[in-house]
Amino acid sequence: MYQALYRKYRPSNFNEIAGQQVIVKTLKNAISNDRLSHAYLFTGPRGTGKTSIAKIVAKTINCENLNDFIPCDKCKSCLEFNSKNDIDIIEIDAASNNGVDEIREIRNKIDLVPSFSKYKVYIIDEVHMLTQGAFNALLKTLEEPPSHIIFILATTEPHKIPTTILSRCQRFDFKRISLDDIVKRLEYIASSEGLSISRNVLLEIARLSDGGLRDSVGLLDQTISYCNDEITLSDVHDVNGTLVESEIKLFFDDIINNNLDGAFSKIYDYNSNGKNLVKIVEGVISFIKNILLYYEAPNFLEKNGFDLSVYKDYDISASKLINCINIFNDCLNNMKKTNNFQLTLEMTLLNISFVLSESNSSVKIESKTDGNIDKKDNVSFERKDKFDDTIFKDIRVDNTLSRFDKSIIREINGRLDELKNYLLDKNYGKWASLLLDGKLKATSSEYVIFVYDNYDISNLFNSNFLIIENLLEKILTKRYKVVSVSFDEWEQIRDLFNSKKKKFIYRPENGQFDNLNVVQSDDEIASMFEDVVEYK
């Protein structure tokens, strides 16, 4: 039966460990100086060597003929360990053995001396999965174990372990393994398997594994099975469900050029071809980061094997690129809450088009739509001085909260889902995405307040409030006056409202904001938003 590469090439002694030099040196010194602790806690990301080192420690300290920290593989203890019959080394998977009874069984047997080894070693993997009762049962045993007992606890989530357990263990924090160390290990495996794989391919596998050696070996194994001949970068990305950098560049070019037709078509193709949209978003974030690094730290990119020519043709401000990264990060968080990754990514593209839109000082947007048009949609954008929304926000927030009606929030929230019907609309797609990203926090019979984490998005909302009011009227069949504030601003407003430290007084607008945003006219409905005011 075929044995997976990550099992076949699991390290068998300290010299075969990739990375984790500090941990290896500390454990070697502890063994040589006879300063072994009764309990260790190994924490860190998956695939970084926690369980492998735990097994190596158990094998090493019980070897009868240890030579420079390398077990002899000939004594009874080594032979039993290699055949997986060593009754003095007990491995427990806490994910499936997490109850009080399992831990009590350990406690009942703990006074029994080892059968033929010097130490009896308990390796408890995924220890954070133990129940509270199991932790309580383990506590006394950890505090005063017999001299022949050593506990090694391993976990990826140390914050879930009670402090009473943590304080009784010697803790080692495993780090993500460097690209060089992963590539060296992959080269050794490829050579041992008689495979000729270019360093660029191995480097790409190492990058995609994000510091996890087991993940990189698993990806290598899967790619070997996928390919009959020479392994290419495309093969690696096909197996991983990701895109090569040149494909990410084409996708990002569509985004920054506001070519939503091309971007949406690519997303459809990715989804149809089984690509992992979550990993694609991560790839886009990394690509944007590299554009920033090209201008700030090009030597770093070159040293790590990136092709600098891919990033040199972009003329985008750093603030816009950082905003793009933030929005794509929000997309990743939203993907964790839904099963419809394609819709989430499509809404993100509509949102991000705001960030990358260019502005003109005077704009007139004309419709290409035929047929009858509602006069309320006849909007011509005539840009005045830069929009200052301070007074606008003060009056509209006061007017909303002076006549606050909580019941209307539930009514409007129940209808906002209908905005999804406008996401692909030429006139309202971007604004529908903007509204769906906001949080409706307060309402009255005339006004609504939306809150955004990003101040710039909030300002963009206010500087285009009339068309947002038009869109809301389409789904609510009633005209509401809108205003937006940032999350930080809302926290202050809410505290003032709840504590009654400020009296919110209604002040009629009397048309005073008509010239701040858009002017009603008999022009045709606005059809495209390439020239919407850029926010800074």
Considering the entire predicted model, what is its pTM? 0.63
Please determine, for residue 272, whether its predicted confidence score (pLDDT) is greater than 60: yes
Dist. CA 203–CA 305, nearest whole Å: 8
φ and ψ at residue 450, rounded to 5 degrees: -105, 145
Torsion region of 27: left, alpha or beta (phi above 0 gives left; psi -120 to 50 gives alpha) = alpha
H or E element at residue 38 = none
Query: pLDDT value at position 381?
Result: 34
Please determine, for residue 379, whether its predicted confidence score (pLDDT) is greater than 70: no
- The answer to whether 81 and 58 are in contact (CB under 8 A) is yes
Query: pLDDT value at position 507?
Result: 86
Judge if 388 and 513 occupy the same domain. yes
Average confidence (pLDDT) over 75-103 = 86
Please determine, for residue 253, whether its predicted confidence score (pLDDT) is greater than 50: yes
Q: What angle do CA 436, 439, 444 make, to 5 degrees?
A: 110
Query: pLDDT value at position 388?
Result: 54
pLDDT band at 320 (very low <50, low <70, confident <90, very high): confident
In a domain, 402, yes or no: yes
pLDDT band at 385 (very low <50, low <70, confident <90, very high): very low
- The answer to whether 419 and 474 are in contact (CB under 8 A) is no
pLDDT band at 377 (very low <50, low <70, confident <90, very high): very low
Nearest to residue 324, comparing CAs of 251, 256, 420? 256
What DSSP designation does 172 have? E
Average confidence (pLDDT) over 238-252 = 89
In a domain, 527, yes or no: no
Alpha carbon separation from 360 to 279, 381, 383, 530, 531 (Å, rounded) = 36, 11, 8, 10, 6
Judge if 236 and 249 occupy the same domain. no
Please determine, for residue 366, whether its predicted confidence score (pLDDT) is greater than 50: no
Residues with Cβ within 8 Å of residue 462, at least 6 apart in sequence: 387, 389, 392, 393, 483, 484
Judge if 138 and 235 occupy the same domain. no
Average confidence (pLDDT) over 151-167 = 92
Judge if 265 and 303 occupy the same domain. yes
In a domain, 120, yes or no: yes
Please determine, for residue 147, whether its predicted confidence score (pLDDT) is greater than 90: no
Query: pLDDT value at position 535?
Result: 31
Query: pLDDT value at position 350?
Result: 83
Judge if 301 and 333 occupy the same domain. yes
Lowest mean pLDDT among 134-138, 367-371, 455-459: 367-371
- Write out the two tokens for 391: 């007074």
Judge if 457 and 321 occupy the same domain. no
Query: pLDDT value at position 376?
Result: 38
Query: pLDDT value at position 139?
Result: 87
Higher pLDDT, 377 or 251: 251
Block residue for tokens 């009784």: 168
CATH code at 497?
3.30.300.180
Judge if 417 and 444 occupy the same domain. yes
Judge if 85 and 166 occupy the same domain. yes
Judge if 234 and 381 occupy the same domain. no
Nearest to residue 242, comparing CAs of 285, 190, 178? 285
Residues with Cβ within 8 Å of residue 64, at least 6 apart in sequence: 72, 75, 76, 77, 78
Alpha carbon separation from 214 to 48, 94, 490 (Å, rounded) = 7, 20, 46
In a domain, 528, yes or no: no
Last residue of a domain, one of 221, 240, 259: 240
Please determine, for residue 518, whether its predicted confidence score (pLDDT) is greater than 60: no
Judge if 391 and 478 occupy the same domain. yes
H or E element at residue 447 = strand 447-452
- The answer to whether 11 and 56 are in contact (CB under 8 A) is yes
Which range has the top average pLDDT, 256-260, 395-399, 497-501? 395-399
φ and ψ at residue 328, rounded to 5 degrees: -70, -35
Please determine, for residue 529, whether its predicted confidence score (pLDDT) is greater than 90: no
In a domain, 135, yes or no: yes
In a domain, 458, yes or no: yes
In a domain, 365, yes or no: no
Alpha carbon separation from 194 to 183, 187, 191, 280, 438 (Å, rounded) = 16, 10, 5, 32, 56
In a domain, 366, yes or no: no
Each residue's pLDDT tens digit, 434-485 = 898 899 999 999 999 999 988 878 888 888 888 899 899 999 989 999 999 9
CATH code at 348?
1.20.272.10
Mean residue pLDDT across the chain? 83
Average confidence (pLDDT) over 412-432 = 85
Each residue's pLDDT tens digit, 6-47 = 888 898 889 989 888 999 999 999 999 989 999 999 999 998
Burial call 235-267: b when 16+ CB within 10 Å, e when fewer: bbbbbbbbbebebbbebbebbbebebeebbebb
Judge if 13 and 153 occupy the same domain. yes
pLDDT band at 515 (very low <50, low <70, confident <90, very high): low
Percent of the chain past pLDDT 90, that is, above it, reads 31
CATH code at 223?
1.10.8.60
Count of the separate structural domains present in the chain = 4
Query: pLDDT value at position 363?
Result: 30
Domain range for residue 162? 5-173
Dist. CA 484–CA 438, nearest whole Å: 9
Average confidence (pLDDT) over 256-279 = 89
Query: pLDDT value at position 94?
Result: 87
Average confidence (pLDDT) over 152-181 = 92
Judge if 495 and 405 occupy the same domain. yes
Average confidence (pLDDT) over 275-293 = 90
